[in-house]
Amino acid sequence: MSYLPKGSQFAARCEPSEYRIFCLTFESHAADQLFENDTLPSSLPPCFDVKAPWILNGMSRLAHEVRHPGFAPAIMVETIALSLVIDLCQHLQIPHKSDVETDQRMADWRLRRLQERIEAELAGPLSVVDLAIECGVSSRHLARIFKNTVGKTLGSYIADARIARAKRELMQDGALIKVIAGNCGFQSAAAFSAALRKATGLSPGAFRKDILYS
């Protein structure tokens, strides 16, 4: 189960099959008031894989009531929905053990999602805040669990990914250095050259010559 704040975008990829998705939106004035709580963060990030049992049970009850309406179904649905809003608010205020463990590792699905986002947007600035929102965690928590999982900082991983792509593109004999620099997220050909020289000891031209003609 996932919680998506207003304005969030969500995309999922899965194997071909039949899926049932139950979506609950909070639009009433009462729900808005509950979320305007001083103890909650001003901006809540998406929360993926919410495992609070009382919230899961509430969603199950709501799904059952929608599929098999009983006595006063409209009132019952509204009551369960508002209870879920309260449960979610309480859940988001509870410090989770995963946020304080220093040795926690990233779930495989989160790591894949992050790696795909990085690879797809290497040409851009790649904000850590945006990457954290993509994974449904705080920036600080993302930095900690990413290093625990991969063995390097997020910044180092992105830098290495840029160099790896640049090396692949340099193997194309006709590709312009400045175009490669832009494709890999470097602000200029000079910045690209400095980064590649630091990583390999060679300039882009020397690296290409060494690869293509060695």
Quick check: 123 and 169 in contact, CB under 8 A?
Answer: no
The CB-side HSE value for 193 (13 A sphere, CA atoms) comes to 10
Query: For position 100, what pLDDT does the model report?
Result: 43
Other C-beta atoms within 10 Å of 29: how many? 7
Query: For position 97, what pLDDT does the model report?
Result: 45
Residues of the chain with pLDDT under 50: 38, 42, 95-102
The CATH code belonging to domain 162-213 is: 1.10.10.60
What does the CA dihedral 139, 145, 150, 156 come to, rounded to 10 degrees?
30
Query: For position 16, what pLDDT does the model report?
Result: 86
Quick check: 204 and 172 in contact, CB under 8 A?
Answer: no
Note the helical H segments in 16-107.
Answer: 29-35, 53-67, 73-93, 97-100
DSSP code, position 124: S
Nearest-5° Cα angle at 60, 54 to 66: 135
**Tokens describing residue 47:** 């929360």
Other C-beta atoms within 10 Å of 19: how many? 7
